[in-house]
């Protein structure tokens, strides 16, 4: 319960599934999670208050209200949560962040679905497989999600989250999808939703807009590369958040 500030006491969590959407390779997790929030009108349920998270002030077009960068969204039934982040979690903070979040997951009976891209140059649809901690293998089987087609490791903040879930024995699953190593990859994010999250949770979500985004990105890759170069932290500035 600690470390997550809950804003909506009217929503009662009912052993929810949580879709994790930290930025990573191809932004696949973030794109899938953000899309789920927007397409399904999920509400801002809580805010992660873990040590080491970036202390930046985030806002959205048309709304002056400032939010913290790492937030939880919920559906009305309290059965689905999304972890949305507008900034990367630094490697130094990954371990304490993982401990902070997994602790809360256990306390609230949350089953997380972690998302990761696997860098790949592909010409066909992106392939996807699942990994699991605790009793997660059964969830993958029920959903008909394949086992890994190769040995591998998930690193970074999502790796720390999966590692911590494994360490404490929390049931979770992870979805690994082939993704563009350089550019945002909405097509791979769509695969995470259609061939993973929908099968695991039964949630309904259209993915046409992601397909449209994928088309746009194909046309503007050079421009995006420039926009994604981060600036230093010393001088204060506001930055546009293109993918929200």
Interacting span for its own copies (CB under 8 A) from 16-24, 37-45, 72-80, 104-112: 16-24
Residue 162 binds to its own copies (criterion: CB under 8 A): yes
Give the one residue of 10, 41, 55, 208 binding its own copies; rule: CB under 8 A: 55
61 and 218 in contact (C-beta within 8 Å)? no
Give the one residue of 15, 147, 202, 212 binding its own copies; rule: CB under 8 A: 147
Binding-residue total with its own copies (CB under 8 A): 78
Give the one residue of 2, 15, 56, 216 binding its own copies; rule: CB under 8 A: 56
Non-local (6+) Cβ contacts of 23 within 8 A are 29, 30, 85, 87, 88
Residue 150, φ and ψ in degrees, nearest 5: -160, 160
Residue 78 binds to its own copies (criterion: CB under 8 A): no
Long-range CB contact pairs, 56-61, < 8 A, 24+: 56/86, 56/87, 58/86, 58/87, 58/241, 60/244
Non-local (6+) Cβ contacts of 165 within 8 A are 102, 105, 112, 114, 133, 134, 171, 172
Q: Considering only residues 190 through 209, tell me which ones interact with its own copies, judged by CB under 8 A.
A: none
Residue 84 binds to its own copies (criterion: CB under 8 A): no
Residue 196 C-beta: closest distance to its own copies, Å: 13
Give the one residue of 9, 12, 64, 208 binding its own copies; rule: CB under 8 A: 64
Output 12 or 237, the one with its CB closest to its own copies: 237
Cα–Cα–Cα angle for 113, 29, 9, rounded to 5 degrees: 60
Q: How far is CA 244 from the centre of its chain?
A: 13
Q: Considering only residues 211 through 240, tell me which ones interact with its own copies, judged by CB under 8 A.
A: 231-240
Interacting span for its own copies (CB under 8 A) from 36-44, 83-91, 191-199, 206-214: 83-91
Residue 119 binds to its own copies (criterion: CB under 8 A): yes
């Amino acid at each position: 319960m600690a470390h997550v500030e809950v804003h909506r006491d009217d929503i009662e969590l009912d052993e929810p599934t949580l879709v994790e959407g930290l930025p990573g390779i191809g932004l696949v997790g973030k794109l899938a999670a953000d899309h789920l929030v927007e397409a399904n009108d999920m509400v801002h349920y809580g805010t992660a208050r873990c040590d080491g998270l970036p202390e930046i002030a985030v806002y959205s077009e048309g709304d002056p209200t400032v939010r913290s960068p790492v937030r939880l969204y919920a559906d009305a039934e309290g059965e689905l949560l999304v972890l949305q982040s507008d900034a990367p979690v630094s490697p130094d903070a990954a371990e304490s962040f993982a401990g902070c979040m997994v602790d809360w997951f256990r306390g609230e009976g949350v089953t997380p679905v972690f998302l990761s891209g696997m860098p790949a140059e592909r010409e066909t649809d992106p392939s996807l497989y699942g990994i699991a901690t605790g009793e997660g293998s059964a969830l993958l089987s029920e959903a008909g999600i394949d086992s890994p087609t190769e040995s591998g490791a998930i690193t970074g903040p999502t790796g720390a989250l999966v590692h911590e879930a494994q360490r404490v024995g929390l049931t979770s699953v992870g979805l690994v999808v082939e993704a563009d190593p350089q550019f945002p990859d909405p097509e791979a994010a769509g695969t995470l939703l259609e061939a993973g999250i929908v099968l695991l949770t039964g949630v309904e979500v259209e993915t046409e807009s992601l397909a449209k985004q994928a088309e746009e990105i194909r046309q503007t890759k050079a421009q995006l590369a420039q926009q994604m170069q981060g600036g230093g932290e010393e001088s204060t500035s506001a930055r546009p958040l293109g993918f929200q």
